[in-house]
Structure 1
């Protein structure tokens, strides 16, 4: 029985001490917060009201993600007011405060939320061009903000409108971590896609994405020429079929197509053209001697063509050579073409000069009106016997022991 009485006495003493301690603490607390608000709208006037001893010199320290400051109190009798500066109260987020100068610490925080209605839509679209086929994509980013440039609250609905060819789509997304975004995947066809967004009645401007063709696939090539003779004058034109991508879209203009030509002895020639409406065209002059060509075209690193074989017939079977003026002037011609006409100007004629079976010199000239003349300077080629080899269009003539004087 005595034990129970002692236990009850100790419990009563503990409660009495606790109540007394609380009363002492209440008496020692200088300020008491009266304001009850924990959420404020950005841009509104935010004032925190306290009740306490106005004779105490103190200030309020305020801080948020935009900065910090000290606020002086405004006194009205036993009430103390602290007005949050506008440059802090217009920015959303958590604002922390603490009364500086009190014996007992007094601090807290409240949240500043954005206005409900948007004033502007920050919209970004990129990249502006994507490849057709469904694997490439662009991104639309929308940041709805109020008139103080604060992003709207989480989960604000954003309506995305999308138009491409005959298709129109509408997709509802929501803001998260201040922004709303959507991946815009490419369709199979090429064209221009239009995008816009709408948030709570506020519409963005129109944006566009160019859906470009994918890389080229293999194609065919063709040739066109006025005749099949190797006259060194006419033009052979190479063209491609309409080059398309894997989705049957015509490839973009400006793709380089290289035509590589292999002749009978394995030498390589090259010509090139760029695509317009999917077709590339390239030209090359006819050879001036009988030739067989194998042509293959490439879009480097992407696609290639079939191999095209074409033949050129010989046009020069024979030609005349005359040695005059002490055999020091060599006249070649007339050089005739496939219809008996004079060969077009510009065909090359080469003369090789030998002395004692050793070559001394080679001279190359271009024909004019079917003739070529070579003058053998006496100061270079002394009097005596020489051998000559004259070549044009892979036709050769040799003259032995021609005396120069």
Structure 2
């Protein structure tokens, strides 16, 4: 391969024609008349008028370039196009590299008539119902040499969704056949299959999921309306549906925001099963009013409900012993005069001369809470005591410890 020929060859494109073109001062002529060949067949360009085997043929297509040496016989040069060019479809530019004449042209290689393989792509695999979202089907039928078939080749598309079956025809263009498949208004599973000239694809699945939920309602269920800090309030939603009445997908996340009397916000959450989300929250331990609203974040919201919790403890007893260093709170009785369930929080704040010294927080057990004031922390003297539980606060001023 002569390098100066490679440099010389780049100038031929400006004068190359769509078919065979010649401009010669000698008697070299192209004898081959075909302008179109099928991929995979042997392509030979024959030139008459010379037996100079040193004349190379420059060939270029979209895959690259090469120089071809001739076979000389009977005052002719025969150039056999190499398989790396003849096996691939497209336009091939050629130029005869001779110093005394300029002969150039093009020919076209087309794919084989019958496809032997079919690449099919479907995506995305899940779309939202409602005629707005869509998935794209791309089909690439190829011949035995992996060339896409010629344009306008017919591809049949079959689709099945619920009780509906459809068939339509799409044509290849720019080497592929494609179709946008829009979602129906119902949710379900869609099956797709394609066929091209007797060659069938495998089955493909597209899941048509419910669209985003619309606004919904919430409900509350509780054993009683007392603020005992023990029972559970259960929040549920109505069946969440999209605008086409499809029940939303399981696992949709619903958040419940609870605003109390003080303006503080509590939060609980649940995920949908069969369209219904459930969440729980423990009763407050003091009289309270809750304003509850739920959200599917950024998508939909519920109505607002109000829940009122009644005070469960009206009063409690405080007993001192052991030099007033043991403080017993209780018995703590609930709304039926029964002992409050274990776990009610009781807080003790110890102060002296207007300065808080220590805070204790304990949970009730069997209706009582006991605090021990350690003499290593609290020396003998007068202290202010503040005891808080169930929304009730009792203050004892200047209690003497010794």
TM-score, length-scaled by structure 1: 0.89
Unaligned runs of 5+ in 2: 1-21
Give the drift of 1:27. 11
Which is further off, 360-369 or 119-128?
A: 360-369
Change (3 A) 1:43 1:358: closer
Unaligned runs of 5+ in 1: 1-24
CA distance in 1, matches of 2:53, 2:344: 110
1:199 aligns with 2:232: no
Which is further off, 116-125 or 345-354?
A: 345-354
- On the 8 A contact 1:221/1:238 being kept in 2, the answer is yes
Aligned equivalent of 2:312, options 310, 315, 335: 315
Match of 1:110 in 2: 107
Match of 1:145 in 2: 142
CA displacement, residues 157-212 of structure 1 (integer Å, 9 cap, x when unaligned): 11111111111111111111111111101111111111111111111111111112
Tell me the matched-pair count: 381
Match of 1:36 in 2: 33
Give the drift of 1:357. 5.2
Match of 1:60 in 2: 57
Aligned equivalent of 1:244, options 218, 241, 245: 241
Match of 1:182 in 2: 179
Match of 1:69 in 2: 66
Q: CA RMSD in A?
A: 1.9
Question: Alignment partner of 2:144: what SS?
Answer: coil
Question: Alignment partner of 1:374: what SS?
Answer: strand
Match of 1:51 in 2: 48
Give the drift of 1:359. 4.2
Match of 1:172 in 2: 169
1:297 aligns with 2:298: no
1:127 aligns with 2:124: yes
- On the 8 A contact 1:219/1:305 being kept in 2, the answer is yes
Change (3 A) 1:345 1:96: same
1:159 aligns with 2:156: yes
CA distance in 1, matches of 2:54, 2:375: 120
Aligned equivalent of 1:342, options 339, 344, 351: 339
Question: Alignment partner of 1:377: what SS?
Answer: coil
Q: Which has the larger radius of gyration?
A: 1
CA distance in 2, matches of 1:318, 1:42: 98
Question: Alignment partner of 1:35: what SS?
Answer: coil
Change (3 A) 1:54 1:353: closer
Match of 2:381 in 1: 384
CA distance in 1, matches of 2:43, 2:24: 28
Aligned equivalent of 2:98, options 96, 101, 104: 101
Aligned equivalent of 1:235, options 222, 232, 252: 232
Match of 1:18 in 2: none
Change (3 A) 1:83 1:298: same
TM-score, length-scaled by structure 2: 0.90
